[in-house]
Structure 1
Amino acid sequence: MNRMPVAERREQLIEAAITVASRDGIEAATVRAVAAEAGVSLGVVHYCFQDKSELMRAMAHKITAQNAPTDLSELPDGMSTEDVVQAVVGAFWQSISTSRGSQLLSYELTTASLRHADLREVALEQYRGQRSAAEAVLEEIARVAGVEWAQPVPELARAIVAFVDGLSLSWLVDGDDDAARESMIRFGEFLVTRTVAHGAASSEA
């Protein structure tokens, strides 16, 4: 077996775990199955991850990062708030619609962790990561559009995660791309109503 830095080996094992879970289901992603998929010994997996819970948390982080929208720094200057928000909404939908397996796996990670007490932290950390990612997107929208949010960013981030969660699950069930895309656009329109000019939010407080 080739020697590999621990960080690289962890990434290899996370990818192997995602491959196994996407193909065979989350319950099949045992330490033994992940080791076999990666072509390493059980000892290597245990060296890189303390237990299955840590491996699943790493999987959740990876999936959350993969589902994050594109870098807003690529947006041209001078865009209206509406255009910035809809660009982000479009990026979210693009990420969702092109990663059905990852979306399904994300829900499987959640339900599996809720069924097993020793994996409870996985779901908590999974949603903390999603809300943190949503907060970062909201802050970037405000920066690029030159606006502020009319309510605390953590509150709005929680609403975004709840909405995207429900929409993604509904889309996985019915596969209606047009309805899901339209719902995302309407949610983007709602987000625009939660923006105010710089200084307005603090002056109203």
Structure 2
Amino acid sequence: MAYVEASVRRGQLVTAARSALSRDGVAKTSLRAVAAEAGVPLGTLQYIFPSKDQLLRAVIEDVVEEIAKVLRHSASRDEGLERAIDSGMHSFWSMLVTDRVGLQLMQYELTTYALRAAGQEAVARWQYERYVSVVAEWCQEAAQRAGETCSVPFTRLARVMVASLDGLILQHVCDPDERRSREHLETMISMIVALADVGPAPTEARATT
């Protein structure tokens, strides 16, 4: 077998683990199964990830960063906060939910696994704090660029957005119906825009942004 740098091999193994987890679930995915998925000896995988917990943590981190990247790069931040909310949530749904139910199911499984595994609780907490921080950052940036204010703190707005999407995704995973889910997504966006109650920033604030 040709030599592969550890950093490259790590990425390959995480990709293989994501494939196996999406298809078979956390309970049925062993280190041996992931090694077979990646086409490497079990010992090679265990050199990079000595335990299943370490591998699953790496997968959680990879999934979180994928979602963060989509949110950062797909949400419009040049047309005001309302547009940022609308474009961000639509892009998230199109890129990470439609036709990717396996990814979302895996994400829920990994979260509950981390909450139940001794010593891994902080991973689940970090997962959601990361989601919230990314959403809050692009909402705040969109508002500042447009000289706008939000009626609630950006972190609170972001937590409501993440919680709302979580609930809608879980319903969609349980009973996939893209048309219905899209209608509910539109309703949810309207509710969040109403919560934000966007207004113009004071003249002094606009002058300093």
1:147 paired with 2:131, answer: no
Q: Give the share of equivalent positions with the same residue, in percent.
A: 34
Aligned CA distance change for structure 1 residues 33 and 145 (closer, same or farther; 3 Å): farther
Gaps of 5+ in 2: none
Q: Hey, what does 2:177 align to over in structure 1?
A: 176
Q: Is the 8 A contact 1:10 1:48 kept in 2?
A: yes
SS in 1 for 2:10: helix
Q: Hey, what does 2:36 align to over in structure 1?
A: 36
Deviations 1:6-60 (Å, cap 9, x if unpaired)? 2211111111111111111112222222122112233332332353223212211
Q: Hey, what does 2:192 align to over in structure 1?
A: 191
Q: Is the 8 A contact 2:80 2:143 kept in 1?
A: no
Q: Is the 8 A contact 2:77 2:138 kept in 1?
A: no
Aligned CA distance change for structure 1 residues 80 and 33 (closer, same or farther; 3 Å): same
2:71 to 69, 72, 75: 69
Q: Hey, what does 1:6 align to over in structure 2?
A: 6
Q: Hey, what does 2:158 align to over in structure 1?
A: 157
- The normalised TM-score by structure 2 is 0.80
Deviations 1:54-94 (Å, cap 9, x if unpaired)? 32122112223333336247x596x4644443222211221
What is the distance in 1 between the residues matched to 2:81 and 2:139? Answer: 12
Aligned CA distance change for structure 1 residues 85 and 120 (closer, same or farther; 3 Å): closer
Q: Hey, what does 1:102 align to over in structure 2?
A: 103
Q: Is the 8 A contact 2:172 2:181 kept in 1?
A: yes
Q: Higher mean Cα deviation, 30-39 or 99-108? A: 30-39
What is the distance in 2 between the residues matched to 1:86 and 1:23? Answer: 31
Q: Which amino acid aligns with 1:197?
A: P
Deviations 1:152-199 (Å, cap 9, x if unpaired)? 222222211111111100111121222221222222223333133224
What is the distance in 1 between the residues matched to 2:133 and 2:139? Answer: 10
Q: Hey, what does 1:93 align to over in structure 2?
A: 93
**How many residues matched?**
199
Q: Which amino acid aligns with 1:69?
A: L
Shift of 1:106: 0.6
Q: Hey, what does 2:52 align to over in structure 1?
A: 52
Shift of 1:144: 5.1
